[in-house]
Every structure is written in C-alpha cells, then in structure tokens.
Amino acid sequence: MSGTYEKRLLTGRDRTNGLLTKLWQIPWSFVLLIGLIAGVGYVALYSAGGGGPEPYATKHAVRFGFGLVMMLCIALIDIRLIAKLAWLGYLAGVGLLVLVLLHGNVGKGAQRWIDIGPLQLQPSELMKILLVLALAAWFHRASWEKVGNPLFLIPPAILVLIPVALILKQPNLGTALITAMIGGAVFFAAGARLWKFAIIAAGVAVAAPIAYDHLRDYQKARITTFLDPESDPLGAGYNIIQSKIALGSGGMFGKGFLQGTQGHLNFLPEKQTDFIFTMIAEEFGLAGALVVLSLLALVVVFCFLVAFRSKHQFGRLVAIGLGTNFFLYVFVNVAMVTGSIPVGGVPLPLISHGGSAMLTTMLGFGLLLSVYVHRDAEFGVARD
C-alpha cells in the first residue's frame, strides 16, 4: 500500500513539474503583445462608447480575460492529443453550421448566430479554426509524392467545400471566401503544386460572372458601391464615404483621444465593430494607425516563426493556417474601411467589439502556443 501511494505521489509530482515546465516554455513576450493589442481595443471601445467603459469596453476586457485563461490552458495540452481530436472538432463545427441554418438567429438579413447559454456564437468563425486542424491532420504524415497525387487532394478539398457551402447558405460571402483562402493556404503549405491553384483560379474567373447573377441585391450593392461610392451617398455608399472622411480628417497625429467628430457625432457607422480602425485613425492619426498595424503584423510574424520552428508537419500546418486566418482578418478589415475592397462584416481581431471573434481568436492563439510548446513532439514517419 505504501509503495502504491508513493508511486501515485511521484506521478502527481511529475505531472505538476511537467505543467510548470510547459508554462515556463510559453513565450510570454507574445502574451504581452496580444495583451497590448487588446488594450488598444479597450481604449478604442472606451471612446466608441462615448467616453466610458460601458457598453463596449468592459465586455471587451472580460472577454479577453476569459480568453486569456482559455488560451493558456489550451497551450498546455499536448499537440498530439489535439491532432487526434481534430476530426471530431471538424464534425462538431459542421454540425453547428447546420444548426445555424435550422435554428439560428437572424440579424441584418443573415442567419449566422446561435445561442449557447449566455453566449451568442457565430459558428462560421469557429469553423475556420477547426478546418485548419482537420486539414493539418490529413496532411501531416503525407509525403511530398503523396500530396502530388490529385486523388489524394480530393478528400481535403471536400473538407473545405462543405463549410464554405454552409457559410454561403447563411449567407456570408466574405467569411466563405476567407475560409476557402485559409484552406488554400494549408494546401499550399502542405506541398500542393502551383498548377493546381492556377486551374482553380481560372475556374473562379470563368464562374465569377455567373456567381454575380446569383448574388443577393445587398451583395451586388456592395460591389457597385465599392466601384462608385458617390452613386448612393445616403444609402449603400454612406458607410465607406464616412469612413474615408474620418480617415482623412485624422491627419498625421489625429484629433486626440475622445475628440473624433465622425465617431462621436455618430456619422461613422458600426464604429465599435467593423469600423473601429477608422475611429482609431481619426483620433490618433496615421501615426497611431501604423503603430496598431505594426503590432498586428508582429502577431502574423510570430505565427510563421512558430511554423518554421516546429519539427512536425502538423504543427507547421496549424501555425501557417492560423497565421493566414489572422492576416486575412486584419487585411480584409483594413482594406474594407479604406475602400480598397467592398464592405463586409469582418472585425479587427482583439480590437473590435464581439464575443465570437474574441473567443475564436484566443482559441487559435492557444493552439498556436501548444504548437510552440510541443514543437519537438514526435509524430511518427511520413506515410507513402
């Protein structure tokens, strides 16, 4: 009995020491970086709320705090266990997308959210993370020759098309396109040949005019407004016109904290979500906007550094997929508010107000840190 007790005690100590070792291995400079970006979000949402913590900034801080704890817990989970659960996670994500179509909440003409207890979840955001894991699980032991076989690429292509089709059904064209591009990035990182992408690009170009005819009226209006915002300055073109006015009025160093006229006089729409970057640029100018973009760029750089340092293919593909997801979040949001692409509902990660975006962003960071902590894990040999 004594020997059994001592064995259990030693096992418990080993586990505790292992967790402490993993905590020590976490790159705390990265944790500080995302905390700094979330702090920028708190300041911007404080201003968006009229100069007070309610109704946006306090919720943002609480969500980030919850997400931070979740991220650190996920970082301690062995990446090999995550790989084993990848398929189950993908099936759960597809199930949530189906549930949205059957029983989801309708808002602004789209059916994208479901209520899970006190949380309103947008499964399409979560699905992007789960898709990365599933694709990484498919490719992580495949040899270069195996990936070169077109038949081997059919199952993962189906893995991408299923969520894309379900997200288009909501409808959510922007998120569907981003999901497809994330899948493409993982395919490319896994070794899919460039000529296959060229064929897909040619097919998309041919199908684009046909797809345009099947777009909803508000989606066509976004494209028309993108090409000529002044054609409907008080309707479809209002958002981007006001955004450009706010961006230009900020100048080099901005009007000052809480002094943004476009935002505080309510000319700027959705200033707490889609157009939060515009509000930052108006109050802190081009200098402040570049600082924010630099911080966000460092996150993307870290993602790809983790991919380079990982000794297993699963970790590399996960880090590249998550880095691509974060980059597309930032690129689409900033390009949208500057009038470089049509307006769509894509938030600025860690800064915009929104529970689903914060939850999925921190979930992705937890997986990224798990890859980093377990970068030397042994997965076995590549399959032929």
Task: State the pTM of this model.
Answer: 0.89
Exposed/middle/buried for residue 317 (C-beta within 10 Å: 0-12, 13-18, 19+): buried
* Predicted confidence pLDDT, tens digits, the chain (384 residues): 455 645 554 455 556 667 788 888 899 999 999 999 999 999 999 999 888 898 999 999 999 999 999 999 999 999 999 999 999 999 999 999 999 888 766 665 566 777 766 667 888 999 999 999 999 999 988 888 888 888 999 999 999 999 999 998 887 888 888 999 999 999 999 988 887 778 777 777 776 677 666 666 666 666 666 555 666 666 667 778 888 888 888 889 999 898 888 877 777 777 888 889 999 999 999 999 999 999 999 999 999 999 999 999 999 999 999 999 999 999 999 998 888 887 777 889 999 998 888 999 999 999 999 999 999 888 765 555
